[in-house]
Amino acid sequence: MIYLKVVTFNIGDGEYALDINYIESVVDMLPITRVPEAPHEVEGIINLRGEVMPLINSSKLLGVESRAESKGKIIILNYKNRKFGFLVDEIREVIDVSEEDVEPVDERIGVGGRYIDGIIKRKDKLVILLKPSLASEEVFSTGVG
C-alpha cells in the first residue's frame, strides 16, 4: 500500500525527499536578492511570477556541502499557506513509498533530526525524508517571508 508520494533530490552527496503534497512546483535558478541580517540559511528572496518569497539554502540549513558545479533547482513549498523556495543541487525522481519502507527518526540523530521526518529504505541506499516545515517557522518569524 502506498504511504506517500515524494520528490527525491540531491544536496551534495546525499539524497533527500519531500512529500509531494507540499510542493507547488520546481523551477530553474532565479535571480536572488540578498536580505541584510537574514538568518544564515536564508539565501535571499526570489520573485516567482510576481510573488516574492524567501529562498532557503538547503546545504546551509542542513549543514552539508553543496556541489559547487551545480546551478541548482528551486523547490517551491507551500506549508501552512506560507510559500518559500528550497534550493537543492539536483532533482532526481518522484517515487511512491510504502509505510514499511519508512523508518522513524530517533534521538541518536541529534539536533539535525529536527528537520527529518524519517528515513526511506530503498534497494541500495537510504533517503532522508525531510519535514515540509523545514525552516519555515524560523524564516517567517524573522520577517524575511
Q: Strand, coil or helix: what is 18?
A: strand
At residue 133, the pLDDT reads: 84
> What are the C-alpha distances in Å from 49 to residues 30, 42, 65, 144?
11, 20, 30, 18
Query: Pairing between strand 116-121 and 90-98?
Result: unpaired
- Rounded to two decimals, the pTM is 0.88
CB 93 within 8 A of CB 5: no
At residue 18, the pLDDT reads: 97
At residue 31, the pLDDT reads: 95
At residue 110, the pLDDT reads: 59
Name the residue with cell 524560523. 138
Mean pLDDT by 10 residues, the chain (145 residues): 91 95 96 92 95 94 78 93 94 94 76 80 92 71 58
Domains and CATH numbers, the chain: 2-141 (2.40.50.180)
Q: Which residues contact 58 (CB under 8 A, 6 or more apart)?
A: 11, 16, 64, 66, 86, 87, 88
At residue 69, the pLDDT reads: 58
